[in-house]
Amino acid sequence: HATDSKVGEVLLYYCYCEVKDPEKLCAWQKALCQHLHLTGKVRVASEGINGTVGGSKVATNLYIEVMLSQPLFKDILCQEDFKSSAGGAHCFPDLRVGVFKEIVPMGIDPKILSYKETGIHLSPQEFHREVEQYLSQASQGQSDTILLDCRNFYESKIGRFQGCLAPDIRKFSYFPSYVDENLELFKDKRVLMYCTGGIRCERGSAYLRSKAVCREVYQLKGGIHKYLEEFPDGFYRGKLFVFDDRYAICSNEDIISACRYCGTLWDQYKLCSSQHCRQLVLTCPSCCNKGLTACCPVCQEKELEVTSRASGETLKEECACTKRRPRVPIEHVSQRMLDTGK
């Protein structure tokens, strides 16, 4: 894809607003994307819309124009809310537009926890200053702040802010339990939260605030995406994980993760080679050549068995990788002043 990835782009955006007829918005959105030959995923709900779509530059520009003039989003969505990166329609297998309960799957009914109760939004510049201050205080062992990554472990593994707390969770829907199990950790703290494009922080910060234990909750407006536009060489190191066929986009040359087999620095994901598994694995070219292509021994074995059972059973939740990982990790407050920034 070396040549054509420069031609088009991938857009990421969301908009919280009241949608009276999600089915109608969904049908309109699907027709719009098809018309512009866009691929990707769009979630529609009564609380708004969340999408990531890819296509030619002409198509994505038109898409933004139409979205900004749609009466539903007119006064809420603005040009700034669209994050873009080099890519195109080839980054997604197809187009999926659907109606859901939430536009980001946290697993908590929007009627119970409103997106309106969010933390304080910080611009990339403000966030950068906060992180700078946090890192200098933390290095003297006296910080009252937690820099919290709201993403999943496979995202933070290949790129994250220096000195952050990155929960070892597999899905965002485990985040509320993570907060519940680790409330003590957040007591009287200032929390600086961030995620890919900002949307998970909208719900995550609202959830954290609803617990009434933190001193303050802040979130990075526009997510890592917008931060990297301003500070490609700032406090975020490594790649930015994206949910499409690219897996990651890069703003600096740092590699902060390693091959799971030999430990050499490596940050390019592949899907586990076992047909049933959907886990991502970091395995370097030389280990790949040795046939080490699965996420764990269980999968490596399964693959060798060559699927004689055509039952289509999925390994999704039960290979060694998932078994070993507690669904919700408990952080030990005492030993928690992380390796603050190299």
Q: What is the mean pLDDT of the chain?
A: 88
Domain count along the chain: 3
Q: Which residues does 159 contact at the CB level (< 8 Å), separation at least 6?
A: 224, 236, 237, 238, 239, 240, 241, 248, 256, 267
Residues 184, 229 within the same domain:
yes
Residue 312 lies in a domain: no
Q: How confident is the model at residue 125 (pLDDT cuts 50, 70, 90)?
A: very high
In the block, which residue shows the tokens 């906060």?
130
- Give the integer Cα–Cα distance in Å for 334 and 193: 21
In this prediction, residue 143 carries a pLDDT of 86
Which domain CATH number covers 142?
A: 3.40.250.10
Residues 26, 68 within the same domain:
yes
Bigger pLDDT: 217 vs 4: 217
**What are the CA-CA distances from residue 245 to residues 77, 108, 154, 171, 331 (Å)?**
27, 28, 15, 19, 32
Residues present in the chain in total: 342
Residues 149, 214 within the same domain:
yes
Residue 332 lies in a domain: no
Tell me: pLDDT of 340 over 80: no
Question: pLDDT tens across 139-185, in order?
Answer: 888 789 999 999 999 999 999 999 999 999 999 999 999 999 999 99
Q: How confident is the model at residue 110 (pLDDT cuts 50, 70, 90)?
A: confident
What does the DSSP assignment read for 254-314?
Answer: ----B-TTT--B---EEE-SSTT---EEE--HHHHHTT--SSSHHHHHHHHH----TT---
Residues 57, 172 within the same domain:
no
**What are the CA-CA distances from residue 16 to residues 33, 234, 237, 288 (Å)?**
20, 29, 30, 43
Cβ atoms < 10 Å from Cβ of 274? 24
Residue 198 lies in a domain: yes
Residues 176, 192 within the same domain:
yes
Q: Which residues does 129 contact at the CB level (< 8 Å), separation at least 6?
A: none
> Where in the sequence is the domain holding 143, given as residue range(s)?
120-250
118 touches 219 (CB < 8 A): yes
Tell me: pLDDT of 190 over 50: yes
Residue 115 lies in a domain: no
Tell me: pLDDT of 320 over 90: no
Task: Provide the pairing of β-strand 8-16 with 145-149.
Answer: unpaired
- Give the integer Cα–Cα distance in Å for 146 and 165: 7
In this prediction, residue 94 carries a pLDDT of 97
Structure tokens at 260: 């799971």
Residues 233, 125 within the same domain:
yes
Task: Provide the pairing of β-strand 159-161 with 269-271.
Answer: unpaired
Residues 242, 263 within the same domain:
no
Residue 113 lies in a domain: no
Structure tokens at 342: 């190299």
Which domain CATH number covers 14?
A: 3.30.70.100
Residues 21, 85 within the same domain:
yes
| Residue percentage of the chain with pLDDT more than 70 | 89
Taking the CA atoms of 1, 39, 242 and 82 in sequence, report the sign of the dihedral they define.
positive
In this prediction, residue 316 carries a pLDDT of 55
Question: pLDDT tens across 62-78, in order?
Answer: 999 999 999 999 889 99
Q: How confident is the model at residue 302 (pLDDT cuts 50, 70, 90)?
A: confident
Residues 168, 217 within the same domain:
yes
Residues 19, 76 within the same domain:
yes
End position of a domain, from candidates 250, 267, 292: 250
Q: How confident is the model at residue 324 (pLDDT cuts 50, 70, 90)?
A: low
Residue 289 lies in a domain: yes
Residue 331 lies in a domain: no
Tell me: pLDDT of 327 over 80: no
Q: How confident is the model at residue 305 (pLDDT cuts 50, 70, 90)?
A: low
Residue 330 lies in a domain: no
Residues 209, 94 within the same domain:
no
- Give the integer Cα–Cα distance in Å for 54 and 85: 9
Q: Which residues does 33 contact at the CB level (< 8 Å), separation at least 6?
A: 39, 40, 42, 53, 63, 95, 97
* Identity at 336, one-letter amino acid code: R
pLDDT mean over 78-93: 95
End position of a domain, from candidates 209, 229, 250: 250
Residues 149, 267 within the same domain:
no
| Residue percentage of the chain with pLDDT more than 90 | 73
End position of a domain, from candidates 232, 250, 268: 250
Question: pLDDT tens across 194-236, in order?
Answer: 999 999 999 999 999 999 999 999 999 999 999 999 999 999 9
The residues with which 192 forms a beta bridge, in sequence order, are: 147, 218
pLDDT mean over 106-110: 90
Catalytic residues: 195
